[in-house]
Amino acid sequence: MNHLDALEAESIYIFREAYAKIDKLGMLWSLGKDSNVMIRLAQKAFLGRIPFPVIHLDTGAEFPETYAFRERYHKEWNLDMIADDCPPIEDADPDLPPASRFASRKSLGLKQTLSRYGFTGIIAGIRRDEQATRAKERVFSPRADDGAWDFRDQPAEFWDQYNLDHPQGAHLRVHPLLHWTEVDIWQYIERENIPVVPLYFARDGKRFRSLGEEGITFPIDSHATTIPEIIAELMATKEPERAGRAMDHDSEDSFERLRAAGYM
């Protein structure tokens, strides 16, 4: 068993544990590289057919290429998809910086989805190496009934023994990719031939390393037009993955405030 095989096996185990022990489960599908890897892992975990809905928290501001990808692959992969509109910017916390305030619409959208459909478990594609606050996460992470997350009070997880208990009215976030790295993701995409939004590949010396909404997500300088070239580029760079995300350049605590309030 090589490194990718081990990561795959652990993630499949997490998917199956979540499905066996959480009564109403959904999975976030951002349409980005990480969530497409989750689709493949879930297909493997459940013999090809994902037995719970995938949820696209739609701000109405995705790139056209992203929407085209969604329309093609939710049909091709036979996904049970929820794609409700997120609440408007006017409902977001006015004290947040502009980019973080726009991003917080997804937190509001998730709260709306939890209330509307009654999910008690949400699978999300975050990774510890992606952002400092996310490094504090657990594989199974309890959230308060309002979606709030107290990173100072998380359950211990030893030797893959997971605690799936959560208070009445709360829900669990499940993170099958928590131990993966950005390079692992691209190596797995290459191995499994997983489709991704074409914006990840360079055009005219620019490509997107992390995908979000138009106006708050920007490309990086790059000439990587293939997956091997992306992997080689990542092996050499010291720039953070989310360098193109405007919200990550807001005030120092804005991302932590978003996460504490329920952001993915």
Query: Domain ranges in the chain?
Result: 3-180+249-260
225-260 residue pLDDT tens: 999 999 999 999 988 887 656 555 444 455 455 445
Global pTM reads: 0.88
Bridge partners for 142 per DSSP: 172
* Cα–Cα nearest to 210, from 177, 246, 242: 242
In this structure, CATH architecture of domain 3-180+249-260 = 3-Layer(aba) Sandwich (3.40)
Q: What pLDDT is recorded for position 208?
A: 95
Cα 47 from Cα 49, distance rounded (Å): 6
Which residue type is seen at 23?
D
- DSSP assignments along 170-238, one per residue: -EEEE-TTTT--HHHHHHHHHHHT----GGGS-BTTEE-SS---TTTB--EE----SHHHHHHHHHH--
Over residues 13-47, the pLDDT tens digits come to 999 999 999 999 999 999 999 999 999 999 999 99
**Stronger pLDDT, 262 or 147, i.e. the higher one:** 147
> Locate tokens 């879930």: which residue?
42
Cβ atoms 180, 127 nearer than 8 A: yes
pLDDT averaged over the chain?
A: 87
For residue 256, what are the CA distances in angstroms to 21, 168, 183, 185, 215? 29, 25, 25, 24, 21
Q: How many C-beta atoms surround the C-beta of residue 191 within 10 A?
A: 13
Across 98-102, average pLDDT: 81
Q: Please check whether residue 92 is in contact with residue 258, taking contact to mean a CB–CB distance below 8 angstroms.
A: no
